[in-house]
Structure 1
Amino acid sequence: MSSQYLTDSSSIYRSTPTTSNDNRNSRSIATNSSNFARDEKSCSSSSTIRDSSLTSSLPTRRPRTSASTRVGRGGESHSFVVAVIEGRGIASEVGMCFIDLRTSESILSQISDSQTYVKTLHKMNIYDPAEILLSVTSVEPSKSKLCKILEDNLPFATIVPIGRKYFNDSIGLNYIKQYGLEDDSAALILGLTSKFYCLAATAAVLKYIESSQNIFFTNHSIQFKYQGCEGTMMIDCVTARNLELICNINSPNNNQSLYGVLNKTSTSMGARLLRTNILQPLSDAVTINTRLDSVEELTRDEENFFSIQLALKPFQDIDHLITALIQVPRKPTIKHSEQSINNIIILKHTLKLIQILKDSLAGCQNSLLVAIRELLSDSRLITFEDLINEVINKDITYQKSSLGLRNQRCYAVKAGFNGLLDVARQTYKETVNDIYEIVENYNNQYEIPLKIQFSPSTGFYLSTSTDVLNEHQLPLIFINVCKKKKMLTFTTLELIKKNTKINDSLTEVYLMSDKTIEDLISEIRCNIGVLYKASESIAMLDMLTSFAHQCTISNYVRPEFTDTLAIKNGRHPMRECLYTDPFIPNDTYANNATNFQLITGPNMSGKSTYLRQIVLISIMSQIGSFVPAEYASFRMTNQIFTRICNDDNMETNSSTFIVEMRETSYILQNITNKSLVIIDELGRGTSTHDGLGITYAICEELLKTKAFVFFATHFHELTRYLTVCPNVVNLHLEVEIENQSTMKYLYRVKDGSNDDEHYGLRVGKMIGLPNDIIEIASEISYKLKNLIDTNKAKSVSNKMIQRRKALLQLTHQLLQIKRSSNLDKDGFRRYLKMIQEEFVIRMEKIK
């Protein structure tokens, strides 16, 4: 087996979670970007930057309908830098190169995009870049259309203008030859020779990183990956926000999102892979079913599942470790030497964990799990262990505490490589013992119970509780006193001297170990590609284990992929996990004969929840997860569209109606026959007649496609006017009228419309509107209602429409049997007879 199961459309989709350092890193990029911009004044006159602070003067708007919130748990921001360049021909060709400064992940992409740059924004939304590098000619004297769209949809990213001359495809190709992994570079270069724009973007982003960040990579150490849009589902920024795929709209810092519900991963690599897959699900049935097979095996074999889960928990972030190994500073420092020893200790720890994880996969039979096990069994990983054991003492292990890790660093390198190491280490050991003796003398002399504390910045210091002082002051020998609640921290001149001596001895150890460690790291870099593959394998395994865990605790089922959308007792994945009250499941059925479904019902009856439920379950199925239902069948979806939010956008001075018309226009421009569309409450931001007319026209346009459309509306006229179309289905959310002023929401989806119930009047009565207002409103409402032809349901034309619908449904059922039938002759005969009887009964009802 090879890594083919991991590289097609799974392992390449990763993104980076955030620590507190990420924000500082992003700010430092923005600070250095203006310096880099000033350096570009030497370019041609058409590319001259007139203002050295141009970056800070660029306005960034925050439209509420875009992915304006930093996606990710806890308001994550990412350290991706991307260079973007647009072709100048008739076809809009866009080249991009993403590089993550924390994981050294590099994604190349070249896309033939539309004038709205839908695919470009899709890629941007997945990786959420902190910096976007554009040619200075795209920014001034006037901003290009691409620049404006990026500003509007990525308001948290900083636009950095750089000279056009740095977008050079030949230099980009040389960069890939220089930095690309030797195992992958030949095939990658062959495929990229004609991708001039993404090569030009590669040259610009690497030059920018070298100039502004002072980050340099060793040769043949970066894993470049080319990624198009084929084989994946498109989810635009607005849809990702509306569906709360990564973060909750109201509370971005919590886990009330699809990512938060599904994220049971144990490693940072698995969490990043899960995030990227949710934003860009697969559309290849073979790959999806391979994932589903592995999840099914993990759920069946509990022993393997728990052993794999246990083996995954101790892993450090391997991507960050790879970055630390391949990046080299411009000038060597003691800090770098210290960190190099840390990296080797962490690598030694990681290699041991990989062996444990490989053993836990011994009983797996699924092809994807077997491929992961074989990648983790690569002989080069054993070679790494042998190289490390030749240099590092065998008893050196990874320690979580800073003091423990410092001790491990001190004794890491074998003394045989440098005889003076023992002298420096002996000094370190004796000085540490001296500190403990000094503190013991303090305890005896001053009769104060002192505790020895340690911090990486100050070294050893002392602490005691204020309760033991009994209102007495500390002796004057103790200096730098700091009070933290009921604890006092302090030190002495003697301790400061000992800490200085310790640091001097450690510096000697690091300097004498540096050459040995650097030689070891150089040998590891020669085969760094195996660590990339190991990281991808662990990330994939972690994500699959997370799916299996969620399936076990939430009673999910395996989805199927057919030409029909059929969900039995489907549940909203987020709502059922986040609320204690029982969730009311609902069925969903759509095919080519019933692809447009109108949903009506009063406010708070569950229409929006039902719409979101359908899309969320579809996304879960296409990332390889089981779904919350009793049975689920899906048609492969290539793009999802939503029109849900109906709030004003104050920043762009856009009303509710303007916002929804813009989003609807976007849907109409990009919809395909394999799309899944949900629209909630369209046309309510203007007058009733205009809103109804526009909504009707939009529905007619959507009906021209074979996309699955679920349309929730309060315009009950649509449920009558659109019945002339044979593929329109009317549904409603059931409500029980207990008396004239009380309603009970049942949250159940039923066939037909409910336009005769006058729910608005009852809601007004329930909340306490005066009776005279209710009476006048009822009178007007009933008069308007009587204007409609009440005998329409009995008309000849309506019966003809019903017959056409019945024939269309029968045709679709027969075609479906022909495409996918595993029944024997007797079963096939019985099924045809059942369809015949149902058709006869339905036609008799129409008479």
Structure 2
Amino acid sequence: MMRQYRRIKQDHGDAILFFRLGDFYEMFEKDAKEASALLNLTLTNRQNVPMCGIPYHASHNYIARLLKAGRKIAICEQITLPEGGRGIAERRVVEIITPGTVVDEDFLEKNSNNYLVSIGSTKTQFALAYIDLSTGDFQTTSFPWENRIEMLKKELARLAPKELLIQNTLCEDDPGVGRILDEYPDSMIGRYPDWSYDIETSGALLRKQLGVSNLKGFGIDEADPALLPIGVLLEYLEDTSKSLLRHVLSLKLYRGDDFVGLDESTQKNLELVKNLQDGGRKYTLLDVLDHTKTSIGARMLKKWLLSPLFDKKAIEERQLGADALYRNQLLLSSVREILSGVLDLERLSARVAMDRAHAKDLAAIKQSLLAAESLQELMSDWFNPWTTDAEKKAAINDVQSLLERAIHEDPSILLTEGRLIKTGFNKELDRLKNLKQNSQKVLESYLDEEKEQTKIGNLRIKYNRIIGYYLEVTKGNLSQVPKHFIRRQSLVGSERYTTDRLVELETKISGTTDQIIDLERELFLEVRHAVQERVPAILKLASWIGWLDCLCSLAQAATIHGYIKPSITNSPKIAIDDGRHPVVESYLPAGEFIPNSTHIDPRDVSFALITGPNMAGKSTYLRQVALITLMAQIGSFVPAREAEIGLVDRIYCRVGASDNLARGESTFLVEMNETAHILRSSTSKSLIIMDEVGRGTSTNDGLSIAWAVTEHLLEQSAKVLFATHFHELTFIEHPKKQNLALSIAEHGDEIVFLKKVKPGAVNHSYGIHVAKLAGVPREVVQRAEAILKKLLEHERQDALPEANDRIEEPQTSLFDQDDLLLKEIASVDVNSITPVEALNLINRWKLELNKQE
């Protein structure tokens, strides 16, 4: 047997092999040592072979723990038993379970997608494809090589993949990519050779999977670099799933400009789906807006939040649906009630397509289709896509009718217990069931005969799996036992017997039961296959249900929180009257949040410089504007009295910073990286939120950087809200700049934060007042006041530069490096120069850089 184990293990060296032995999965040698440590199992030795095991029926719990630890599991089953019970059973790996390929609901988060990502590159293009095998969501994109770091960070933050497949040279030769991957220690990462990333091979595999002769119907050119990582992904899925992927029916090609750009730090700082405290969902925008009733809708809403639309028509279509539901509260309530009866049709369909669905899954599909039928009857033609797709509507009706007739009301999960198929669906099955029922009556009749003959009034016929049917006689009646009773077992208070007649009846009943189980299994598989053929229609229905659920969720959020429908325009203007922070206000008593207005229009004023003390509400105000804009561009209502949102192509939120140990970056370097990224990639259509730029270094350096950044953004004419403690920046004069301040009220030595934005500037930070409020010891506060007084006496206002004065800086700029030197470095062919030449070049570059210090 160990030879068989080692032969199978040799083909699955990177997986923990679950080797089926009877009712257990056993692990041996290296796998046993690793699994025993991860699963807290007892490690034993047999003939110097380390081993441990888990019960077959409890395997799901252990598999889930291994997946969470980022491990791959190969399931090796007994395929056939040896004749006569001797010899070695035939075994083979029937499934490989990995974090990114699971479809079993026990291993999935119901409200989050489970993405497997594949990444590859050419010399000029970088490509990323991803799939959620549990839903069939399959997409790909590509972008220029020089944008790879920005795009990879953004996409991985959005997708939160459970597993990554990476072109090997990217890991070895691209430090930027390597540092990003280091930030995903919980994601399983597989490396693949360069030759496996081939556009032509990927195209052929994709056409085979989608069942088409060309990809024109999907809007994909055969030479599109976005195809590059797809081949590795599809081959990996084929190797691991060991089944056809009948639900992977289409591929969506997307580009970066299809949606509003949200980089990694913006997604994090706006706390869209994870909070900054513990990474949980509480205190996030998702937590406020998510009133979905289905897992399909919950996953879709999360995707909407991370991919706001940049298409006015598409936004207004969502608005139209949400508004119709918002205005008809009775309809909204009825739809949400019906939606609560819809189970996860996407993932149920995936399991059907992959031959993983059991009878309870089909019963869940039946229940969901009944609810969907009620939804279609309730909704208007505008909401109901089935009025124009008769073919798919007919397919849905066929599935619903079949499942209603075929599947038992309370079916078994196992195929070996019966109770799968309804009475009336199959005549032969009904005949066998009747025969079994009649056999039970024969047993009862036989028992009556024995009672009459033996005069044992409490004689019983019972059954267990060990000895089958038996007659039970209590100790007090043993003297009445007749000679034809054959003893089977002796217990403390009774004896168990059989008879020739009982054995005969048991044989007949058992044979009938086996026939029923076999026929039910056969019929169930036929029904499942029929449902498989209609999976495309079910998936389309599931998508519509998710979309409807999202609209209901937005309408419900608007109802609860008093949101209004914003006006969406193609102008550059953002006008928000009495806007509110959607998350902060949801945790305050009604009416307590103080609203503030925002008016930015690059044709007039594009840059708002905001001053005010700590705790005055600057960061809340900044995030509020970004969140309202984002909410408008997913089609949501917004927290304001009135709002006009001109479409933005990107939202940048540089609010706060912390060091990044994984990337080896200090707090200030993180801040400067984010600032540099904004200055280089933002456009005149972008919304930029910046808070305390330059605070992580010395005062003079920080002020200089903040001043220069302000001037740069003013020239660019993007929509900017810039909060700062550098009050000197308020003296910058520019026709597109306005000064705003968070107002306060002073009462002697005390201050009150009014949380209201007004025109003007605050020339004091009130930091010592805030320290006092925080409970800093009195003697420390008094000393700080004395030091501040002394510093203010030496302050010289005339030392500030005039607005737009260009000052020659002795310090190397973080943003304008020597272009000639960069071009020379980029042009070097590292494959053709010798090591000595490389050292000479590096030395010359170092000397040139030192001249700039």
What is the TM-score normalised by the length of structure 2? 0.69
- Post-superposition Cα deviations, 1:718-757, rounded to whole Å, max 9, x if no partner, equal 111x2x22211111111110112x11111001111010x4
Name the structure 2 match of 1:31: 72
Q: CA deviation digits over 1:635-666, x for unaligned, max 9? A: 21111112112333344443321221121112
2:227 maps to a residue whose letter is: L
CA distance in 2, matches of 1:432, 1:243: 70
Residue 296 of structure 1 aligns with which residue? 323
Please, which of 742, 753, 759 is the counterpart of residue 761 of structure 2?
A: 753
What are the residue-to-residue correspondences of 1:277-292 with 2, within 5 Å? 277-292=304-319
Following TM superposition, by how much is the alpha carbon of 1:299 offset from its aligned partner in structure 2, in angstroms?
1.1
The AA in structure 2 aligned to 1:199 is L
Instruction: Pick the aligned partner of 1:164 from 165, 190, 194.
Output: 194
Question: What is residue 103 of structure 1 aligned with on the other side?
Answer: 135
Q: Which residue of 2 aligns with 1:249?
A: 276
Unaligned runs of 5+ in 2: 1-59, 77-107, 448-489, 499-507, 804-853
Q: Secondary structure at the match of 1:640?
A: strand
Question: Given the superposition, is the C-alpha separation of residues 614 and 514 from structure 1 closer, same or farther in structure 2, using an over 3 Å criterion?
Answer: same
1:84 maps to which of 111, 114, 119: 119
Alignment of 1:236-275 (within 5 A): 236-275=263-302
C-alpha change, 1:186 and 1:353, in structure 2 (3 Å) is farther
Residues 1:744 and 2:752 aligned together: yes
2:375 — aligned with what?
357
Conserved 8 A contact 2:408-2:422 = no
- CA displacement 1:217-275 (0-9 Å, x = unmatched): 24x85332222223310111211111110011113334321111100001111111110
1:404–1:189 Cα change, 3 Å: closer
> Is 1:174 matched up with 2:201?
no
> Do the aligned partners of residues 276 and 506 (structure 1) sit closer, same or farther apart at CA in structure 2, a change above 3 Å counting?
farther
Give the conservation status (yes or no) of the 8 Å contact 2:607–2:722. Answer: yes
Partner of 2:739: 730
- Structure 1 position 625, deviation (Å): 0.3
Mapping for residues 138-537 of structure 1, pairs under 5 Å: 138-139=170-171, 142-145=172-175, 147-180=177-210, 188=216, 191-218=219-246, 222-328=249-355, 339-362=357-380, 367=382, 369-370=383-384, 372=385, 374=387, 378-386=390-398, 389=401, 394=405, 396=407, 399=410, 409-411=420-422, 414-416=425-427, 419=428, 422-423=431-432, 427=436, 509-537=516-544
1:130 aligns with 2:162: yes
Higher mean C-alpha displacement, 663-672 vs 513-522: 513-522
SS at match of 1:204: helix
Match of 1:590 among 600, 605, 625: 600
* 3-state SS of 1:287 partner: helix
Instruction: Confirm or deny: 8 A CA contact 2:386 2:393 kept in the other structure.
Output: no
Q: Post-superposition shift, 1:700?
A: 1.7
The code of the aligned residue for 2:114 comes to S
Q: Deviations over 1:400-437 (max 9, x none)?
A: 99799988625378222xx25643686599899999xx
How far apart, in 1, do the equivalents of 2:689 and 2:348 lie? 43
Give the letter aligned to residue 192 of structure 2. I
Q: Is the CA contact 2:725–2:765 (under 8 Å) kept in the aligned structure 1? A: no
SS state of the match for residue 341, structure 2?
coil
Change in 2 beyond 3 A, CA 1:378/1:789: same
CA contact (8 A) 2:294 2:343 kept: yes
User: Whole-Å Cα distance in 1 between the matches of residues 441 and 540 of structure 2?
Assistant: 42
| Deviating more after overlay: 706-715 vs 145-154 | 145-154
Matches within 5 A, 1:648-727: 648-720=659-731, 722=732, 724-727=733-736
CA distance in 2, matches of 1:432, 1:232: 69
Whole-Å Cα distance in 2 between the matches of residues 430 and 650 of structure 1? Answer: 73
Q: Offset of 1:175 from its aligned partner?
A: 2.8
Task: State the shift of 1:788 in Å.
Answer: 2.1
Q: Is the 8 A contact 2:366 2:400 kept in 1?
A: yes
The answer (yes or no) to whether the contact 1:392–1:414 under 8 Å persists in 2 is: no
Alpha-carbon separation, structure 2, partners of 1:404 and 1:163: 42
Q: Which residue number corresponds to residue 851 of structure 2?
A: none
Q: Residues of 1 paired with 2:535 and 2:349: CA distance?
A: 8
Change in CA separation of 1:746 and 1:588 when aligned onto 2, cut-off 3 Å: same
Which secondary structure state, in structure 2, belongs to the residue aligned with residue 322 of structure 1?
A: helix
Instruction: Please tell me whether the aligned partners of residues 318 and 535 of structure 1 are also in contact (alpha carbons under 8 angstroms).
Output: yes
1:80/1:100 contact within 8 Å kept: yes
Secondary structure at 1:754 match in 2:
coil
Judged with a 3 Å threshold, the aligned counterparts in structure 2 of structure 1 residues 237 and 392 are, in CA distance, closer, same or farther, namely closer
Whether the 8 Å CA contact 1:559–1:631 is kept in 2: the answer is yes
CA, structure 1 residues 775+726, in 2 after alignment: closer, same or farther (shift >3 Å)? same
How many percent of aligned residue pairs carry the same amino acid? 27
With 339-348 and 302-311 compared, the bigger mean Cα shift is at 339-348
Using a 3 Å threshold, how does the CA distance of structure 1 residues 272 and 432 change in structure 2: closer, same or farther? farther
Letter in 1 for 2:373: Q
Greater Rg by CA: 2
What is the one-letter code of the residue matched to 1:151?
Answer: L
Instruction: Give the Cα–Cα distance (whole angstroms) in 2 for the partners of residues 431 and 227 of structure 1.
Output: 63
Structure 1 window deviating more from structure 2 (772-781 vs 282-291): it is: 772-781
Q: Indicate if the aligned counterparts of 2:744 and 2:754 stay in contact, CA closer than 8 A.
A: yes
| 1:317-357 Cα deviation digits (max 9, x unpaired) | 111122112114xxxxxxx5xx4433433333222222111
SS, match of residue 143 in structure 2: strand
**For the residues of structure 1 that align with 2:269 and 2:679, how far apart are their CA atoms?**
18
CA distance in structure 1 between the aligned counterparts of 2:608 and 2:520, rounded to whole angstroms: 71
CA distance in 2, matches of 1:744, 1:430: 87
1:554 positional shift: 0.9
C-alpha separation in 2, matches of 1:727 and 1:291: 34
Asked whether the 8 Å contact 2:607–2:714 carries over to 1, the reply is yes
Q: Once the two structures are superposed, what CA deviation does each residue of 1:184-214 show, in whole Å capped at 9, x if it has no partner?
A: x866456323344333322111111222343
CA–CA distance in structure 2, aligned partners of residues 578 and 433 of structure 1: 69
For 1:432 and 1:772, locate their aligned partners in 2 and report how far apart those are by CA, in whole Å: 96
Distance 1:555 1:409, change over 3 A: same
Are the structure 2 counterparts of residues 259 and 514 from structure 1 closer, same or farther at C-alpha, using a change threshold of 3 Å?
Answer: same
Q: Look up the equivalent residue of 2:346 and give its one-letter code.
A: D
Q: Distance in 2 between matches of 1:433 and 1:134?
A: 67
Within the candidate set 543, 566, 575, 1:566 is matched to 575
**Number of equivalenced pairs:** 652
C-alpha distance in 2 between matches for 1:413 and 1:148: 61
Kindly indicate whether the alpha-carbon contact (under 8 Å) linking 1:387 and 1:520 is maintained by their aligned counterparts in 2: no
SS of match in other structure, 1:216: coil
Contact 1:84/1:96 (<8 A) preserved: yes
Which residue identity does 2:302 align to in structure 1? R
Contact 2:565–2:638 (Cα < 8 Å) also in 1: yes
- Residues 349 and 398, structure 1, Cα contact 8 Å, conserved in 2: no
Contact preservation (8 Å) 1:113, 1:119? no
Report the equivalent of 1:544: 551
Alpha-carbon deviations, 1:433-475, whole Å to 9, x = none?
A: 999xx9xxxxxxxxxxxxxxxxxxxxxxxxxxxxxxxxxxxxx
Amino acid at match of 2:790: I
Contact 2:139 2:251 in 1 (8 A): yes
* CA distance in structure 2 between the partners assigned to 1:696 and 1:632 by the alignment: 31
User: RMSD value over aligned CA atoms?
Assistant: 4.0
Measured in 2, the distance between the counterparts of 1:623 and 1:280 equals 8
